[in-house]
Structure 1
Amino acid sequence: MDSQQEVREVEEPPHTPVVSFLGPISSYTHQAALSCFESDKYNYKAAQTITDVFTAVQSGEAELGVVPFENSTNGAVIFTLELLADRHKLFPDITVCAEAYLDVSHYLLGRMPRRTPTIDSPDMSGSCTPTTSIPSPLQPRAKPLCSLKHIERIYTHPQAWGQCEIFLGAYLKGIERIDVSSTSRAAEIVKEDTSGTSAAIASSLAAEIHNLDILAKGIEDREDNTTRFFVLRKGIDKSLKTSKGKTKSLISFTIDHRSPGALAQVLDCFRGYALNLTSINSRPSKVIPFQYIFFVEFEGSKLNDPSRRSRHAHAAHRHKPPSLNNSRRRANYIYDYLSPTQSHLLNITLADFLPESCYPSNFHKSNLTLPLARPRGPTLQEIQGGLGSTRPSKALDLPQGHHLVYFPPQVLSSDLLPDGTDPVQSPGPPYVRRMWAGGSLVFDPAPARPLVLDASRVVCREKITDVSVKGADSQEKVFVTIERRVGLSSEQEQDSEVPANTVALERRNLVFMEEKTVAAAKEDAARPDKILKPALTPDASVSITPTQSLLFRFSALSFNAHGIHLDPQYCREVEGHRNLLVHGPLSLVLMLSVLRSQLQEEEMIFKFDYRNLAPLYASEKMNVCVRRDPKQSSKFDVWIEGSHGGYAVKGSALIGRSGVKTPFDGSEALEK
Structure 2
Amino acid sequence: MSDPNANEAEKNIEIWKVKKLIKRLEAARGNGTSMISLIIPPKDQVSRAAKMLAEEYGTASNIKSRVNRQSVLSAITSTQQRLKLYNKVPPNGLVVYCGEILTSEGKERKVNIDFEPFKPINTSLYLCDNKFHTEALAELLESDQKFGFIIMDGNGALFGTLSGNTRDIVHKFSVDLPKKHGRGGQSALRFARLREEKRHNYVRKVAELAVQNFITADKVNVAGIVLAGSADFKNDLNASDLFDQRLQSKVIKVVDVSYGGENGFNQAIELASETLGNVKFIQEKKLIGKYFEEISQDTGRVCYGVEDTLKALELGAVETLIVFENLEVTRYVLKDSNGSEIILHTTKQQEEASRDKFLDKETGQEMEVVTQESFLEWIAEHYKDFGTTLEFVSDRSTEGNQFVKGFGGIGGILRYKVNFEQLHEFDSLVNSEGPVAKAITSEPTTSHADQPHDKPRSSGKIPPTQKRLMKDFSEGPRHSHQATKIAFSDEKKWEFIPTGTIREVFEVVQAGQARYGVVPFENSTHGTVTFTLDSLADRDGKFKDVNVCGEVYLDVHHYLLGFAQDKKEKRLEEEGVKGKPLVELSHVKRIYSHPQAFGQTTAFVNKYLRGVETIEVSSTSRAAEIAAADKTGESAAIAGVQNAEVNGLDVLAGCVEDRNDNTTRFFVLQKGRYQIVPGRGGEEEEGTWGGDAYGGEKYKSLVSFTVAHSTPGALADVLGCFKGRELNLTSINSVPCLGDSEAFQYLFFVEFEGCEGDDPEERVKGVFEDLGEKAERWRLIETTTPSFSPQDYLSSAKEKFRSTLPRQIPAILTPDRSILLTQALNPTSTSHHVPSTLPQGHHMVYFEPVLSLQEQMPDGTNIDHWPGGPFVRRMWAGGIVKFYRPQPELNKKTEMVCMERVDGENVSIHLNEGNEEKDKVFVDLERDYFVVSNKKDGEKRVKVIEEKRKLVFMRDRMGIFFPIHIYVAQLAFTLAPWKPEIQYPLHPTRELLKMFSQLTNNAHLIHLDHEYAQKHEGYKDVLVHGPLMLVLMLEALSKEGGFVKEIEYRNLSPLAVNEDLTIWTVWIEGPGGRLIVKGKGVACG
Kindly indicate whether structure 1 or structure 2 has the higher relative contact order, using CA contacts under 8 Å at least 6 residues apart.
1
Q: Rg larger in 1 or in 2?
A: 2
Q: Give the TM-score of the pair, scaled to structure 2.
A: 0.30
Q: Give the TM-score of the pair, scaled to structure 1.
A: 0.47
Structure having the larger proportion of residues in helix:
2
